[in-house]
Structures are given as structure tokens and as C-alpha cells.
Chain A
């Protein structure tokens, strides 16, 4: 229990440091590190992540339409409420944990164990400035970007599938969707995915900088589990808190 509290406190302190030191992003080495992180998390992984996300989103729509025997209006509601608001950010978050989260925690743990973090301190560079700030910002922005990609493709795929499986044209579905959807829905999912990205990156960086010293695999796996639980928890909390504020017009 004390260990859990310490980890939570450590993550909160790290988060506070990131917020206080955002200005270091203007320094050339940190800017470069941020660019690399965005490239790694948000660009190089795009094809695989978007494809998997889109497949999952489309499968969910197909399953729900089949089970609920949905009509055009219900299909659009499912696309809006399930895919756009919830599944998109969640899928992006889980995929970021799977790919970038484990990479971040492993990289930082290796740097810690091999003495590179100490080297940074001896160069009078705060490791949190150079290693944590760009990763947190980069993963957060990338998660938001990936969420957007997943949403576009999953909603597009869902509409195509709905047009095939139910008695509605693609144009009608699209029209209904844009009538129902509001900028708040988009902002809600973007804010949520940014928070997911921040949570994933802070937890990964914290565990990476505090390896148990036994095995990198253990660090990676435990961190993955912790982050997954954390993201699911955050997802439920935010979904519940905002659901009343973001309602459909129908």
C-alpha cells in the first residue's frame, strides 16, 4: 500500500515538474527530443495503429448493429457515442501503451541502469527536463493525433459497414452523423486523449526512472499493467463525469 502511494506521489511530482518546466521545450536538444518522440509515437506507428484501431472500431459497430438490429438513427448514435467519444480515444491509448509506453519505460530504465541518467546530472542537465518533459508532451500530442486518425477511419468504416448492413444510404448516414455531432464531442475526445497520453507518459517515465533493478521485463510488464488499469479507470471517470455535459440532440 505504501509502495502504491509512493508511486502515485512520484507520478504526481513528475507531472508537476513537467507543468512547471514546459519552457525547456524551447531548448534545441529538448525540441529535437520532442520531435523524435512525436515521430516515433505519432508518425511511424500511424499505419499499424490506425489499421488496428479502425478494424476494432468497425468490428464493434458491426457487432452492435447485429445484436441491436439497429436502424439508421441508432447506427449513427453508436458511431457518435461509442466510436467517436469512447472507443477512439481508448483504442489510441491502449495502442500507445502497447507500443510507445513500453518503449519509453524500457529506454529510460536502461538509461538509468547504464549510468546515462547520472551522466546527464553530471552535465548539469536535469534528467526530467531532457527525458521526461519532451516524452510527456510528445506522447500526449501523438495520442490525440492517433485518436483523430482512429476516429476518422473507424467512423468512416462504420458508416460504410452500416450502409451495407442496414437499409440506409451512406449519404443519409453521413448527414445524420453531422447533424448529431457537435464540436464539443470532438473537443471532449481530444481532451480525453491528451489526458490519456499525459497519464501514460508520466507513469512510463516514472517507472523507467525508478526501475526495481531486477529485470527490465518485469518493469515493462508491471508498468504496462499499471498503465492499462490507470487508463481504464481514467476512461470510466471522465466518461461518467462528462456524459451529462455532452449529450446528443436527439
Chain B
């Protein structure tokens, strides 16, 4: 796993000509004083030391595909600013984000939360989704029968992350951003969460796995 500290990476960041090999490149506007983030395609990376504000700015740029004036965003080898609406929609479908809390909806149980994006984007896959979800949960050490009927309020922090992660895996994104993967987990849960990367690697061999971690004082 490589460690991509934004401040440390700023000097060694790739030039614009290397865009095709970039999974995520973000250059904030000059006045911001933030370091560049330049992550190559493939592999696993950790972006550490992000303040909440910088993290929010980065996520807003990547997930809404809207960079600030003067900023530059490269995603999966594409300059976002030059893309049309249809290309942006297609590009956005290749990126997934797992927030620290799992990003679950409180009125849906784990199963409903997991298959929600499938129901919208590829409803045809719902029919065979149950077995796939059970396999993924089982592979990550969870009991599907116990977890799937649970509402988020009855889930542990790890179970929420797990449900959110399985939801992401079902869509097979080329770039996965995970916020604070090990935050709020005990030792056993951390060990289980360490299995997230191999599972992603098995499903998306060429994909890029990025962990976003806040600064210690944040």
C-alpha cells in the first residue's frame, strides 16, 4: 500500500501529460494553499493528514465533479472540466465513496441499503443479488442472515461500514474512496476491515483503492 500524503506528494506530482495513468488528480486553486493530490491508477493508496475542510473540498470536487474556479480535477485519466454532461455521468458511475459511517439510510435495513443503488441503476441485477451479497458478506466474516434484516440503528460501526462497502462492491467501481476505514473499530473489527482491500482487488483487479484519513488533530 502506498501512502499519498497530499503535502508530501505535491513536489513529486505527475505532470499533466501523465493524465491517462492518473486515478485521481486534484490541484486546488492557488489561493487555497492546499497540496496537490495525485494518485496513479491501480493499487492501494492512503491520503493522510487531510483536515475536515480539505477532505470536504476534495470529496465535493470528486463526487459532484465540480472543481472550484482555478482548481484542476483529473479523474480516471480524464480532465473533468472538459467533459460534457453525459461524459460526466458516465465518469461518475466509475467512482464510489464509502463515508466513515457507511452512508446508510436509517429507515432501510441492511439488505435494502445494500441493493438500493442496484435498484436504481441496474434493476435487472436485483434478481441474482441476494446470493452475491451473501457471498460478499460471508467472505468478509459477517453472517448474512443476522446482518441483512438489521436497521442501521442496531448495527455496530463495523457492520455499517461493511454494509456500505458491499453496496459499493456490487457496482464494481474503478476508483473507490474510503473515508477513515479503521475509525471507530476495535481490534477484531480492524482485522476484519483489513479484508476490504483483498475483496475489492478480487472483484476489480485494475481498480484503485484510496483511503482518506483525517489529520490526528482534526
- A residues with CB within 8 A of B: 27-30, 32, 107, 110-111, 114-116, 119-125, 129-130
Q: List 12 A-B contacts (CB under 8 A).
A: A28-B123, A28-B126, A29-B119, A30-B119, A32-B112, A119-B104, A119-B105, A122-B63, A123-B103, A123-B117, A124-B92, A124-B93
Bound form: Cα–Cα A136–B116 in Å: 20
Which residue in chain B gives the minimum CB-CB distance to A110? B106
Question: Given A29-B120, A115-B103, 18 more contacts at CB 8 Å?
Answer: A27-B120, A29-B112, A29-B115, A29-B116, A29-B119, A110-B106, A111-B105, A111-B106, A114-B106, A119-B99, A122-B63, A122-B103, A123-B103, A123-B116, A124-B93, A125-B116, A125-B117, A125-B120
Q: CB of B107 within 8 A of chain A?
A: yes
Given contacts A28-B126, A122-B97, A124-B93, contact A116 B106 (CB under 8 A): yes
Residues of chain B within 8 A (CB-CB) of A124 are 92-93, 117, 120-121
Which residue in chain B gives the minimum CB-CB distance to A28? B119
Does A27 contact B116, Cβ atoms closer than 8 Å? no
Does A27 contact B123, Cβ atoms closer than 8 Å? yes
Which residue in chain A gives the minimum CB-CB distance to B59? A122
How many B residues have CB within 8 A of the partner chain?
Answer: 21
Bound form: Cα–Cα A114–B103 in Å: 10
| A122 shortest CB reach to chain B, Å | 5
Which residue in chain B gives the minimum CB-CB distance to A26? B123
Bound form: Cα–Cα A119–B112 in Å: 14
Does A107 contact B107, Cβ atoms closer than 8 Å? yes
Q: Which chain B residues (89-108) contact chain A, with CB distance < 8 Å?
A: 92-93, 97, 99, 103-107
Bitwise interface map of B from 49 to 67 toward A, beta carbon under 8 Å scored 1, else 0: 0000000000000011000
Does A27 contact B119, Cβ atoms closer than 8 Å? yes
| A25 shortest CB reach to chain B, Å | 12
In the A-B complex, the 5 residue pairs with the smallest Cβ-Cβ separation, listed nearest first, are A29-B119, A119-B103, A28-B119, A123-B117, A125-B120
B105 partner, pick from A27, A28, A120, A121, beta carbons under 8 A: A120
Which of B93, B112, B117, B167 has most chain A Cβ within 10 Å? B117
Q: Which chain B residues (106-165) contact chain A, with CB distance < 8 Å?
A: 106-107, 112, 115-117, 119-121, 123, 126
| B22 shortest CB reach to chain A, Å | 22
Residues of chain A within 8 A (CB-CB) of B105 are 111, 116, 119-120
| B59 shortest CB reach to chain A, Å | 8
Residues of chain A within 8 A (CB-CB) of B119 are 27-30
Which of A107, A122, A129 has most chain B Cβ within 10 Å? A122
Residues of chain A within 8 A (CB-CB) of B106 are 110-111, 114, 116
Residues of chain A within 8 A (CB-CB) of B116 are 29, 123, 125
| A68 shortest CB reach to chain B, Å | 49
| A18 shortest CB reach to chain B, Å | 17
Bound form: Cα–Cα A130–B107 in Å: 13
Residues of chain B within 8 A (CB-CB) of A111 are 105-106
| B125 shortest CB reach to chain A, Å | 11
Residues of chain A within 8 A (CB-CB) of B123 are 27-28
